[in-house]
Structure 1
């Protein structure tokens, strides 16, 4: 235990000896002096906790000594106990306490009272020092927490920037592939070419699915992911998932089948997009890790309560299976059963992590049963409300995108494939256009010509789209400040649209874009 320093100041040595004898104990150090000036030096140099000071002394009385101690920041917190043999009149005690003392003892000292009071002040000092120590520790922890928070925020920013850049870099070429495939479909093709084009679209959408998985996982982790329930045809949804994955199953000569409970309701209230995502991941994984045999989607009713039904979606395969010690690991982000799995089968290791998080968000239960070399059963169970009466929606017919009259658009796009794609689409709508490759060229072109609309890519060399929009809105192309601007962005973070709108864009279209969406936006901003 740390010793407490007690200073005794009395001009009579015999009084000091008596007090030392009274206070002698292992947990305190007693420092004494008969000289008030010496007492000031000791208080300055040593860590004095309590000072017992005689009132009547030559050269400097106790009151003067205490006033000097209390006026110095280094010694102001010393606990002062006055010890005196002068009158017990109240005015002296009041004067002593008003000087800053915590107590006033009268000679001759009662040994029991003196010892008890000193004990209580020693305990008070220890408590105060413990509080100071804890406060310092708290301050240190607070600094560490602030530092950790700053690092976490920095990490979050780095992650968001990485996701935005990766999204842009991957989605931009995918946009070109999907767009050109759509254009090709409108040309004269034989049956074999149509089949090859369909496979190209499947591959492109699979690649797009990987980047969407990464972005979905990021949204789930940040709490920005929402479940939107609507009437869903459960049988149709399950069949469509199986049909979409039939090509990779056929390629591996696997039997891909579906086993639907005949008692399944026609319609349920569900987030069909997320349920589709869960089933796509589970069945896709099963096909990936099955060399021979079958993959079966079994959908059955487990329980009923009033107008609600508990449905279990089980994906049963005859694949490689998972060792018992690896069952928990496979649901972790970017993890697979073992390193050899990644080498042999590839993949990001995101599929089951997405399923796990989606199952949790939907309030369902995810289970797995597996035996190495014998296959696995992954199942998702959840309660759904049965929809008894649903308005039959007419099948939407393909929208005819009518050409525009006397419309001139400025296109700023640096990617040659996207430039080709946008040009072809706009030409098919009889739109006159000028095409530039960066924001600076866009501003220069806008100074020379009048345009009904600007289509601006977000990421471009020399000057990006957002910088160009800000400069246009600030009047760098005089008289053209209010020209409508739509940005193309391959980044799909929630903040991207806000950032573009804050820069002055009228609207944002994400890549890959639907031509019908672009047509509608052009119509919206060029008529009226």
Structure 2
């Protein structure tokens, strides 16, 4: 029997496989098995009714035999299994009605079998709505017949037709087998899919647990990386603070021309190293989504001039023509934004332009694209006549740690993080960087940013001078344990005729505040005995209001995002990252001294 079953199974499976859903596949298989096995069933009945001379039954089963062939062909060629199943159900319903009102004139076992068969098949093949419909139209004649069995007008024929006992026994046995098989097969498929679904659910649950564990491991790794980079930042910035700070101090002491050149190279090299460190740390912040743009007023013209001044020395060293174009519309306006991040974008692009240009020019052009009463749209364009970038490499340069080619890294160095950082900062400004480049011709980068703005007060545009006259009266306490940092701060403050008092740790700083009067405190955050956070918090708790309200500026080589929050929580007024720009320190001292003077003394 197996050699007969396998071709049938292959035939049925081939037709059912066109449906992607497993339940629909089971429905097609179930319908095809019913139709295929009805062929020998009806063939046997045709022979029995023919030999027994039972013409009405012979006609009916012959129609069923031919219909099964037609429906199988329709399902195979036209893929209309749903329509075929409706026709089968209608045929079963017709058989029920004809049995009761024409062939049997009663409710016999065969009729009940057909009703059960139709009800079950309709639910399995078409779901709830059609199941209820076909069940209703099959049960309805039974209810009607039972309620009116004594009324003659329900009998439509001359009388019931007899059938042999052997034939009748074969019919009801075959029908019972089909009813059992119908439930068995569909429950088997349902149970298989339910077990498969449960197994998949359990596998998915286990996979989610593994994913959760992996994510936790990744989070721990990310936190460890952040802690390592924070520590590395502090350890690298501390000696750099000394190198850059002493270089600044020596450059202000009227050195000889040859010394000036040497000091400039020393400072330039240290600042380049600091730039690389900042790129790595900043990219790590972007990866951790821990970067937010500031929204403070600044003079765009002054920022552009400062950027120009910073890179002017590099351009001069390579004998490049450096150009800056600033629109007249910017004069007298303070734009709102993040000057630090914008400077980072401009310096990355300008440094790249100078780095990859051996001769010719580099230009920074800023143009006003739109101007309203509240907003100004500025277009920034950086153009160089450098080596250019091949078309197939242009998109790669915005990927982290990727440069245009291996030779680029060998010849020019760099981390490959500058342009990815530029792209991410501009994304935060809702801007997109555009690039045009041709090898050996040059490259152009451009982007637009919309800034809110306000008219500036002439007092706000006053340039700071480092002659020290304005700050000479200040009494400043410096809490710092690193001797190099102490030397840098002392030399920086002495430019402005300030002689600071030094405390080697937070505990000594607190004691000096209790014993003396100071205008401002410069507080390192990481010191022995008592760190800067603890010392600041202790100062804020002093009973003397004049001492507890002393402005405190944190000085730290740690650029972790949590620093600003912890500084604020401990009661400090501001913070300055190391290595610091003397002009930034001057500005903060000037601002805090004015605020302190404006507060009435209790």
TM-score range, shorter chain: 0.5 to 0.7
Greater fraction of residues in strand: 1
Q: Which runs of 5+ in 2 are unaligned?
A: 1-32, 34-174, 540-547
Q: Which runs of 5+ in 1 are unaligned?
A: 1-24, 26-108, 474-481
Please tell me the root mean square deviation across aligned C-alpha atoms, in Å.
4.7
For residue 441 of structure 2, the aligned residue among 375, 383, 390 is 375
Structure 1 CA distance for aligned equivalents of residues 372 and 571 of structure 2: 53
1:159 and 2:229 correspond = no
Structure 2 CA distance for aligned equivalents of residues 386 and 250 of structure 1: 35
1:332 alignment partner in structure 2: 399
Shift of 1:309: 6.1
Structure 1 CA distance for aligned equivalents of residues 533 and 334 of structure 2: 48
How many residues matched? 404
Would you say the 8 A contact 2:360–2:385 is kept in 1?
yes
Would you say the 8 A contact 1:289–1:319 is kept in 2?
yes
Would you say the 8 A contact 1:229–1:269 is kept in 2?
no
For residue 401 of structure 1, the aligned residue among 463, 471, 474 is 471
Would you say the 8 A contact 1:219–1:225 is kept in 2?
yes
SS in 1 for 2:197: helix
Q: Trace 1:343-354 onto structure 2 (pairs within 5 A).
A: 343-354=410-421
1:3 alignment partner in structure 2: none
Shift of 1:371: 2.0
Structure 2 CA distance for aligned equivalents of residues 384 and 472 of structure 1: 44
Sort the Cα spacing of 1:342 and 1:128 in 2 relative to 1 into closer, same or farther, 3 A.
same
1:435 alignment partner in structure 2: 504
User: Looking at CA atoms only, which structure, 1 or 2, has the larger radius of gyration?
Assistant: 2
Would you say the 8 A contact 2:247–2:267 is kept in 1?
yes
Structure 1 CA distance for aligned equivalents of residues 592 and 181 of structure 2: 89
Q: Trace 1:172-211 onto structure 2 (pairs within 5 A).
A: 172-184=238-250, 187=253, 189=255, 197=263, 200-211=266-277
Shift of 1:214: 2.7
Would you say the 8 A contact 2:557–2:577 is kept in 1?
yes
Shift of 1:325: 1.9
Structure 1 CA distance for aligned equivalents of residues 300 and 213 of structure 2: 50
Sort the Cα spacing of 1:326 and 1:268 in 2 relative to 1 into closer, same or farther, 3 A.
farther
Structure 1 CA distance for aligned equivalents of residues 328 and 516 of structure 2: 60
Q: Which moved more, 1:353-362 or 1:184-193?
A: 184-193
Q: Trace 1:227-376 onto structure 2 (pairs within 5 A).
A: 227-228=293-294, 234=300, 236-259=302-325, 266=331, 267=333, 269=335, 271=337, 273=339, 274-300=341-367, 304=370, 311-372=378-439, 374-376=440-442
Greater fraction of residues in helix: 2
Shift of 1:292: 1.4
Shift of 1:156: 1.4
SS in 2 for 1:247: helix
SS in 2 for 1:223: coil
Sort the Cα spacing of 1:419 and 1:258 in 2 relative to 1 into closer, same or farther, 3 A.
closer
Sort the Cα spacing of 1:519 and 1:362 in 2 relative to 1 into closer, same or farther, 3 A.
closer
Structure 2 CA distance for aligned equivalents of residues 446 and 243 of structure 1: 43
- Which deviations, in whole Å up to 9, do the C-alpha atoms of 1:471-493 show, x marking residues without a partner? 999xxxxxxxx999986431111
Sort the Cα spacing of 1:206 and 1:179 in 2 relative to 1 into closer, same or farther, 3 A.
same
Structure 1 CA distance for aligned equivalents of residues 553 and 345 of structure 2: 34
SS in 2 for 1:245: helix
Shift of 1:404: 6.2
2:61 alignment partner in structure 1: none
1:512 and 2:512 correspond = no
